[in-house]
Structure 1
Amino acid sequence: MGQQRPPTTLIAMLVIPSRRPTRPELPLFRKRVSIDMGHSFFVGAYTKVFFKLRGYTLEDLEFRLPDGPQAGVVSLCRDANFDPQRPDVMLCFGYRPGTYVFQVVDRATNVVVAEKKFELTTDWADEKTGPSLSVVGVVTGGESAPAWGGGPAGPDPQNLNVFPQTGTRRIAIILVDTSSQRFPTDTPTLDTIRQRWMDEIINGVAVGGQTRSSRRFFQEVSYNNFDISAQIFGPYQLSGNFDSYFTAVTRNGNTLWSPNTNYYQACITAADSDVNFSNFDTVLCVSQNTATQDAWPYASIGTRTYTTAEGSRNLGVISIPVGWGTTFETTRAVHETFAHELGHNLGLSDQYTPDVPGRNPIQWDNMHSEDGLAHFSLAHRMMLGWVPAGWLKTYNFALGGSPVNETISLSAIQAGTPPAGRMGGVEVRVADGWNYYVEYRNRQATHASDQELPTNNAVLVTDVDSSPDDAPISRPRILRVANDPDGDGSVLTNGLNYRAVDVSDPTFPTDFRLSVSGIDGTKADVKVEYGVNSRPDPSIRPWPASPTRQWQSPDIEVRNTRNAADPAWFNVPWAGNPNTVVARVKNNGNLAAPNVRVLFSVKNYNVGGAPETPLGEMTQTIPALGTVEFTTTWNPPGNGHYCIIVRIDTFAFVAPDGTLVTEMSPHNNLAQSNYDRFISAEGSPATRQITFVEVGNPYSEATRVFIRPGQSNPLYRTYLGATSLRLEPGETRQVEVMYEYDNSNVFRTPMSLGQYGWITPEKRENEGLARRALKLFGAKPNRVDLAAFIEDPRDPELHTAYRFSGAEAEIVTGRRTKFDYFYKDGAQIGGRVVLDNRRPTGVNGGRVLLIYRNTDDPKNPLTVYDEVRLDWDGRFVVKATKKGLSIRPESLQAYYLPTPGFGDCYSEVIRFEQ
């Protein structure tokens, strides 16, 4: 016998509105509320406040912060750790340091029945684990590694608009000091300091008869597509000493002082009363040195999330000491160094490390050396969106085809739009994601930058690998091509050539040759020669799959019964159920690739460095220019969130003539995708979802990892348990991440609404905008991304954290549901899905998946599904089908697959008697 259907009278009882049980009312003087929370907290962080209640329930109480958003806000959402015997609320801290009070109020009498003082500060002593952070509002996400634009068969160049930068970048220059050494207080001296920094960055300074500034550099290198502006503020006094905000780091026998975890937030908070950070994109913190300590320049790649009076704000940050270029590191000027550091904010990495002897770009690219205001090389200009596709001549030798013998006339890339009959550069596709770029560089008389080229009036050939950075990074993204057999190298003048011989091609010799002639100060003629290529190239594309799937590969897909039934769950693993992992592998070569071996593995939901577990492998042949799906099965355990990794085993085979044929590129053999989707169910109270991301250190030395959250919907809140970690070699740690839906955010918290503006709750005129936000965002999912950045401990001039990895999640909301009942009576199966509240009413849409399981083999249980539709009141009654009984099931469970506006839920499990 299976489990019996509940009697009809019981069903009737379940739809009767429930009544709250009565309890004896204690006299007011005998009621008690005890508050359990800490005393000192970092601005923008969060903590749970626990209570011991006597004579009250949590619903009898209200929680207040009399000082408003600057102190914080209270969230009443509950998560899986909620304990009715020790109830809690979440306190999300505000943006202004000070001492505040948290109050508990009796709702019935409006009397404060308990209160606790706490302090907000920017002091943080724990460099092993950075402070937590709660995020509200629209906070733009972080980009993953450069995407491969164009396509292996298309005419479009790759690496276009990877980090597009147009318009004006707004810089807030903040002068800050510490108790170890204060800025001068007399007005003339301070005015001189302020004027110097505005001149270096914006107005210009005289250098060798020219007027140079960071602003002029960006105008020139971007062809006036990008500009910067700046305002200067301060000085502001930080309360701690120099060692409270900077740590000594030894590199090659030299001591560098690097910003601590709290430094940038401390600077932003110190200036917050004067600066509206919604009006700025980058914050430059100019620090005062001590007699023996100077902070080495440091910048973030991209932006990080900070707490301000305007809400959670993504800002690029830069630190440079006030004495830079005068009393400290006098060989480099502020305008040179700031141009390099702002390049990091725009998304570019250093190109001088790791060192590849004879191949790093040196003064051909500002991201290697800022001396003399070197321009960015061609690939970097393309990534920033300043070189359009029409300026470029493209060759795709990865596809083979007919031999090429053609001469291209290049104009100087610094000169802007090429005149008729000339091009701005050449892209040579070696393989998908791996290209050579050819550019002609010649000093421009009207320019102040790029005047100290290693060789003027010459053609530069670079080797660009745009696959994602994978720490430990083995090479910079941009290198000069390796020296060729005749020693002409990567910098070509009249009569020189670059020649590469492909000895692994079955049609050997297949030569690639660039010959340079006709350089006359206005142009350079480049002759391109290449034979027919006939090698295979099995490849898989890395992330991003799309702007809304930054941390997923377009070539990896997870399929299961749930996402087959409902596209809303596309590419989302179904924990506790069978999944099929699909990898689409393309052979970009025009020779078949026999016996390609693809390896699948899985690791915990992570932002880099987590250990892997093998899932399976598959071997198939891929025809020339063909795409083949490789698959493996996967049954993830429940309550987990994961990352799938797909690797193409290094590919080679022996041709009939005995030639060892290798693939064209080893750089396109790895892809991965992070997966997470949650429903933050509405109810009274609403639910908070909890997960963890894993972070690991792949280096043989200790290092720091920074994690930055972003989200797309202001009606949600994202919690991050630690914004930075210091990890020992090989160490792996987990960071808590939580999500909740709370549409009262727009009425209580300063926040960005993205393109729609900013909410400041103190101003009544914003109420209309807040109500509009409820309509604009109410039905939209929240897309959260977590971008991680890691410091390379091998970097000889540690001054940035490199893009490491990332994860994403989609969070939707819906009314909380449950199975009112679920039964099996002989061949009949029935149940009802209702709203999970005090008056259960049936849901009015959605479907139920009946899950039949046979667990004879616990490592590979057999599972069969039947799909059932609900009636208008959430009920269903069906007969067990032959399909469901085909595996001699041991258990039966129902899963509610919701329509928009409802949360999902599982029934109890019914065991079969065998």
Structure 2
Amino acid sequence: ADQNMPNDRRVVGTDVVAGWYSPPVSRKPIRLLGDDGDGEGAALDSGQDYEELDATANATFRLKVLSTDDDQARVRVSYQPVPAPEPPWPNAPDPSIRPWPGGNDWRSPDIRVENAAFKNIPWAGHENRVIATVTNSGTMDAHNVKVGFWVKDFTVSDAGPETLLGWDFNDISAGASHEFSVSWVPPALPFIIFPFREVHYCVVVRITPHSEGSPRRGEMNPYNNQAQSNYTLVYTLSGSPFSRKLLPVQVANPFPDRSVEVRLHAEQNLDWYRTYLSHKWVRLAPGETKNIELMVECVAEEEGFRDQVSNELLYTQPNIVSAVAIITDGDSNVSQLIGGATIEARAARAAEFIGLDVSRGSIYGNVRLVSDGSIPPAGGEIVVATSANIPGGEISYRTSLDEGGAFGVETPKFATLSAPIVVDLIYLGGGGTGPASVRIKLD
């Protein structure tokens, strides 16, 4: 990268992730810093600076380049708490985002993830858009509102390692809402785990403390600037028995100065499922993070449930699992809820692709149920997409199954790409049928 600099005598900023934590993004752990909103980028000339809010400490890191020459640069680095805004004013802006409601729902209603295939489910190796709806509940317009996005491993904690995805800026009129968003490409899954597997992450959104006017007026409510969604979807597919779904869940000690004992608890809303936790409690050192395992399975085919659960009920009603983490502080014996996660488990008939006829210009094939080769309901959607790292960005096409379980889609843009290319073909399921996917190499 240093050989391709547009100008000499520049200070180049990179983001380096060290230690055991592997960030859930497809790019390498070392990369150029993103622009901080002032248009100066990551290659800084004399007089330019880089500024970033520390996601873990509500503090601002700032590096300013004082001077540069052929061999060295003089910089000034500061790291200090974000100044508190002026006391809330009755006539002021108030950018806000709704947090999770808790209970059995650990999703913020203002955060969602979209991609070419799913809604609210990340698609590994593909372009995802993380979207946050921010509402200005104040009585003044809010200009240049700054919203940051972070992602972390699936967790039942508010704390834990995070990876910054980026920032978005916009104005919000008084009483109005605006969608802020950033792009995200989770790491691609290895070929060996196909035909289908979900990925599980948590998304955090923070609004930078905002002020307006002269004199500067802080927000009406400075405590509604952060939200987090700890939600995922899993399928337990029919067979003998239904498949079990195992997912890692992160638990983090929010205290940097003392060890704690974290107790874990899970509840579900349907009798014909079982949920297991690998640990009911863990002991964590100051700031320590550990993974436990949560497993969910459908037991509707077992004795006692087989005659009680109709297919209509089995394949239409999801099992909502709520897992929570509770700390009992040794000094006070007061239990403290530190977070939770929602797992939506759906029973579904396993499906597979058969009779595929693929080329650069088109893909044809059929979808059948694994159990008996029967045809799934018509209308189920099919998506085929390249990876996100091709020149020009991801290319995707969408079609649907006909009444005979067949599909066909023309893919003319694939023919314009340099060979070979790899595409993911995915059936999204529906009508009691689970998703299925296959990875195809096109020469």
Q: CA deviation at 1:826?
A: 5.5
**Share of identical aligned residues, percent?**
33
Within the candidate set 737, 741, 745, 2:294 is matched to 737
Write out per-residue CA displacement over residues 24-70 of structure 1, whole angstroms, 9 at most, x where no aligned residue.
xxxxxxxxxxxxxxxxxxxxxxxxxxxxxxxxxxxxxxxxxxxxxxx
Q: Give the letter aligned to residue 200 of structure 2.
A: H
Question: Which residue of 110, 117, 137 corresponds with 1:562?
Answer: 117
The AA in structure 2 aligned to 1:911 is L
Structure 1 residues 283-432: aligned runs within 5 Å? none
Matched, 1:803 2:334: no
Tell me what 2:202 maps to. Answer: 643
Alignment check: 8 A CA contact 1:743 1:774 kept:
no
Q: 2:437 maps to which residue?
A: 906
Matched residue type, 1:680: T
SS of 1:902's equivalent in the other structure is: coil
Matches within 5 A, 1:406-555: 533-544=90-101, 550-555=105-110
**In structure 1, which of residues 761, 764, 771 is the aligned counterpart of residue 307 of structure 2?**
771
User: How far does the alpha carbon of each residue in 1:586-617 deviate from its partner, in whole angstroms, 9 at most, with x for none?
Assistant: 11211122221111000111011321110111
**Alignment check: 8 A CA contact 2:260 2:327 kept:** yes
In the TM superposition, 1:624-635 aligns within 5 A as: 624-635=174-185
**TM-superposed deviation, 1:776:** 7.9
Q: Could you tell me which residue of structure 1 aligns to residue 63 of structure 2?
A: none
8 A contact 2:123–2:199 mirrored in 1: no
Between the aligned partners of 2:360 and 2:121, the Cα distance in structure 1 is 34
Q: Does residue 144 of structure 2 align to residue 613 of structure 1?
A: no
In structure 2, stretches of 5+ residues that fail to align are: 1-55, 58-84, 190-197
Contact 1:603 1:642 in 2 (8 A): yes
**Uncovered stretches (5+) of structure 1, i.e. residues with no partner:** 1-470, 473-501, 511-532, 564-569, 749-769
1:805-884 matches, cutoff 5 A: 805-825=339-359, 827-837=361-371, 840-845=373-378, 846-853=380-387, 855-856=389-390, 862-882=393-413
Structure with larger Rg: 1
Sort the Cα spacing of 1:503 and 1:851 in 2 relative to 1 into closer, same or farther, 3 A. closer
Distance 1:729 1:675 in 2: 26
Contact 2:236 2:243 in 1 (8 A): yes
Q: Are positions 1:897 and 2:428 aligned together?
A: yes
CA distance in 1, matches of 2:290, 2:412: 47
Partner of 1:792: 329
Letter in 2 for 1:585: V
Note if contact 1:715-1:746 (Cα within 8 Å) is conserved in structure 2.
Answer: no
Deviation string, structure 1 residues 738-779 (Cα, Å, up to 9, x no partner): 11111145617xxxxxxxxxxxxxxxxxxxxx7344468423
Secondary structure (helix, strand or coil) at the match of 1:829 reads: strand
* Cross-structure match for 1:166: none
- CA drift of 1:632 comes to 0.6
Q: Report deviation, 1:503.
A: 7.0
Residues 714 and 777 in structure 1, CA contact (< 8 A), matched pair in contact too:
no
Q: CA–CA distance in 2 between the matches of 1:604 and 1:701? A: 23
Q: Is the 8 A contact 2:360 2:415 kept in 1?
A: no
Which of 230, 254, 272 aligns to 1:698? It is 254
User: Which structure has more strand as a fraction of its residues?
Assistant: 2
What CA distance in whole angstroms lies between the structure 2 residues aligned with 1:723 and 1:640? Answer: 24
1:703–1:728 CA contact under 8 A, matched in 2 = yes
Partners of 1:669 and 1:697 lie apart in 2 by: 23
Asked if the contact 2:86/2:217 (under 8 Å) is kept, the reply is no
Q: 1:703·1:726 contact (CA, 8 Å) conserved in 2? A: yes
Alpha-carbon distance change, 690 to 594 in structure 1, aligned in 2, over 3 angstroms: same
Counterpart pick for 2:120 among 549, 563, 571: 571
Other-structure match for 1:366: none
Give the Cα–Cα distance (whole angstroms) in 1 for the partners of residues 424 and 312 of structure 2.
37
Residue type of the partner of 2:234? F
For 1:590, give the aligned amino acid. Answer: T
Match of 1:108 in 2: none
Partner of 1:783: 320
What is the CA–CA distance in structure 1 between the aligned matches of 2:124 and 2:395, rounded to whole Å? Answer: 15
Corresponding residue of 2:233: 677
Structure 1 residues 825 and 611: CA distance shift in structure 2, 3 A: closer
- What is aligned with 1:150? none
Report the AA paired with residue 640 of structure 1.
V
Partners of 1:714 and 1:879 in 2: CA distance = 45
> CA 1:854–1:644 in 2, change beyond 3 Å: closer, same or farther?
closer
Q: Verify the 8 A CA contact 1:599 1:646 in the aligned structure 2.
A: yes
Do the aligned partners of 2:122 and 2:199 also contact (CA within 8 Å) in 1?
Answer: no
Alpha-carbon distance in structure 2 between the residues aligned to 1:581 and 1:888: 30
Contact 2:208 2:225 in 1 (8 A): yes
Cα offset, 1:571, TM superposition = 2.2
Write the distance in 2 (CA, Å) between the matches of 1:908 and 1:783: 30
Asked if 1 retains the 8 angstrom alpha-carbon contact of 2:140 and 2:174, the reply is: yes
One-letter code aligned to 2:248: F
The answer as to whether partners of 2:397 and 2:409 remain within 8 angstroms in 1 is: no
Quick one: structure 1 residues 854 and 583, their matched pair in 2 at CA, closer, same or farther if it must change by over 3 Å?
Answer: closer
CA distance change for structure 1 residues 855 and 627 in 2, over 3 Å: closer, same or farther? closer
Greater mean deviation of Cα atoms: 601-610 or 819-828: 819-828
- Is contact 1:573–1:675 with CA below 8 Å preserved after alignment? no
Q: 8 Å contact 1:854–1:887 — kept in the other structure?
A: no
* Distance in 2 separating the partners of 1:802 and 1:776: 40
Q: How many residues align?
A: 347
**Structure 1 pair 588–887 and aligned structure 2 pair: CA distance change class (3 A):** farther
| Change in 2 beyond 3 A, CA 1:594/1:898 | same
Q: Deviations over 1:465-522 (max 9, x none)?
A: xxxxxx99xxxxxxxxxxxxxxxxxxxxxxxxxxxxx9757xxxx7xxxxxxxxxxxx
Whole-angstrom CA distance in 1 between matches of 2:348 and 2:171? 46
Secondary structure of 1:714's counterpart equals coil
